[in-house]
A = this chain, B = another copy of it.
Amino acid sequence: MGVFMVERRLQCGDKDPMDTTFRKTGQHRIFQDVVEQIQDAILEGRLEPGARLPSERRLQETFSASRGTLREALRVLEQKGLISIRTGAKGGAVVNALSIEQVSESLDLLVRYQRVSLRDLAEFREGVEGNVAVLAVERARPEDMAHMRGLLEKAGDFLEKGASGWDDFIRVDNEIHTYLAQVAGNPIYLSVLRTIYGSIHKYFDRFLPRLEELLHENYRDLCEIVEAVENGQAARAHLLVQTHVYRFNRIMEENAQKESS
Question: Is residue A258 contacting chain B, with contact meaning CB distance below 8 A?
Answer: no
Main secondary structure of the interface of A (DSSP, over half): helix
Give the number of copies in the complex. 2
Does residue A236 face the partner (Cβ distance < 8 Å to B)? no
Residue of B nearest to A67 (CB): B68
Interface residues of A in 98-117 (CB under 8 A from B): 98-100, 102-103, 105-107, 109-116
Contact of A115 among B99, B107, B134 (CB under 8 A): B99
Closest CB in chain B relative to A99 CB, distance in Å = 7
What number of A residues sit within 8 Å (CB to CB) of B? 53
Which residues of the partner chain B approach A79 to less than 8 Å between Cβ atoms?
A: 75-76, 79-80
A187 cross-chain contacts in B, Cβ below 8 A: 114-116, 120
* Interface set of A (CB-CB < 8 Å, partner B): 24-25, 27, 31, 42-43, 45, 68, 71-72, 75-76, 79-82, 84-87, 98-100, 102-103, 105-107, 109-116, 120-121, 123-124, 127-128, 130-131, 134-135, 186-189, 191-192, 195
